[in-house]
Amino acid sequence: MITNKHKDRLFNFLFGREENKDWTLSLYNAVNHTDYTDSGEIEIMTIEDVVYMKMKNDISFLLHCYLNLYEQQSTFNPNMPLRELMYVGKLYDKYIHKHRLNIYGTKLISIPVPKLMVFYNGATDADDMMILRLSDAFPDTADGSESDIEVKVTMLNINHGHNRELMAACRPLAEYAWFIAEIRQNRKKLDIEAAVDKAIDDMPGDYLIRDFLIGHRAEVKDMCITEYNEAETMQMLKEEAHEEGRIEGLIEGSIKMIIELGREDGLDDAAILRRIQKKTGLPSDEAAACLRRYGGQAIK
C-alpha cells in the first residue's frame, strides 16, 4: 500500500520501484539507445518523503556514471529546468554524504553526470521532443553577457501515438501510454473511477504491466483519480485566471474612458477620482492608482 505523505503518480509507481527495475532499465535503454541487461546495476535515488520547495522528485536513479532524473508531467511546465536544478542539488548532496566526499579538499572529486528528462502526457498537443533550458527564464542583460549556469532538460511526449520509436523500444512505456489514452477515452462516458476500472479490464492479456495493475488496482485507481483531479483543478484555475484577466481588462478600459471623458469635461483630478469611485465602486487607493497610471496626480 502507498503510505507516503505525498502520493506517487502512476508513472513513478511503474518505473520508480525496486521491484520494477527491469522496466526502469527498459525505459533507460529506450531513451539512451543502449542495451544494458542487468537491472541490478540500477540504484534508485528518488528523494522519498522529502519535499523541496513544495515539489516532490519523481524518479531518480544511478546507472554507471549517470544520475538520471525522470519527471512525468500531465501539464506543460516550462519551469522544469529550474525544478530539476533544485532536485539535482539535493541529490548531489545526498550522493556526497553517502560516499563521504570532501568538496572542500584540493583533489577534484568525481560525481555522476546528470541526465534530465521530462515525460509529458498532457491533453494539450506537444512536439515529440522539446529542449527546455534554464536560460530561457533569464532576462536580457544590458551588456549582453551570458549566464554562468545553464540547465538543459529533454521533454518527450509519451502520449499514445507519439514517439513511436521510443515506444517500440520500451513495451512498458507504450502500455502505460495506451492505458492513459483509454482512461481519457472512457472519461467521455464514465466517472474517473469507472474509467480506470474499464481501462484495466480492457487491457490486452499480453501486456507486461497488466498483472501489476490488476494486483495494485486500488492504488492505481487512487493515483489516477488524484492525477485527474489535479489536472482538472489546474485547468479550472487557468480558466478562472483567463476570465479574471478579461474582466480586469474591461474594468481597466472603463476607467481609462472615465478619465478621458473627465478631462474633456474640464474636471480636475480630484473630481475624476470621485467619478471613478462612483462608477466602479473601487476603494479610493485603487482608484487613485488607476488615475496615476494615466497621468493623474497622486491624490491622498
Could you tell me the pLDDT band of residue 271, with boundaries at 50, 70 and 90?
Answer: confident
CA-wise closest residue to 69 among 53, 82, 88, 52: 88
pLDDT of residue 300: 42
Helix axes 171-186, 192-202, angle to 10 degrees: 140
Q: Is pLDDT above 70 for 8?
A: no
pLDDT of residue 209: 96
What pTM was estimated for this model as a whole? 0.73
Residue 236 or residue 205, greater confidence: 205
Planar angle of CA 236, 240, 243, nearest 5 degrees = 140
pLDDT of residue 277: 76
120: phi then psi, degrees, rounded to nearest 5: -100, 130
pLDDT of residue 267: 84
- What does the alpha-carbon distance between residue 196 and residue 175 come to, in Å, rounded to a whole number? 14
- What does the alpha-carbon distance between residue 255 and residue 249 come to, in Å, rounded to a whole number? 10
Q: Are the beta carbons of 13 and 219 closer than 8 angstroms?
A: yes
pLDDT of residue 28: 97
Enumerate the H helices of the chain as residue ranges: 10-15, 21-32, 80-98, 164-169, 171-186, 192-202, 210-215, 217-264, 269-280, 284-293
Cα Rg of the chain (Å, integer): 26
- What does the alpha-carbon distance between residue 264 and residue 113 come to, in Å, rounded to a whole number? 67
Report, as an integer, the average pLDDT of 17-46. 95
pLDDT of residue 232: 55
Question: How long, in residues, is the chain?
Answer: 300
Report, as an integer, the average pLDDT of 87-100. 93
Report, as an integer, the average pLDDT of 150-175. 96
pLDDT of residue 151: 96
Could you tell me the pLDDT band of residue 123, with boundaries at 50, 70 and 90?
Answer: confident
Q: Which residues contact 111 (CB under 8 A, 6 or more apart)?
A: 67, 92, 95, 96, 101
- Can you tell me whether residue 110 is helix, strand or coil? coil
Average pLDDT, the chain: 84
Could you tell me the pLDDT band of residue 289, with boundaries at 50, 70 and 90?
Answer: confident
CA-wise closest residue to 13 among 208, 223, 178: 223
Cα–Cα distances in angstroms (integers) from residue 52 to residues 25, 43, 124, 150, 267, in the given order: 27, 21, 27, 20, 55
pLDDT of residue 119: 96
pLDDT of residue 238: 52
- Give the range with max mean pLDDT: 82-86, 122-126, 169-173: 169-173
Report, as an integer, the average pLDDT of 64-72. 95
Q: Is pLDDT above 90 for 120?
A: yes
* pLDDT tens digits, one per residue of 165-208: 999 999 999 999 999 999 999 999 998 899 999 999 999 999 99
pLDDT of residue 46: 79
C-alpha cell at 267: 474636471
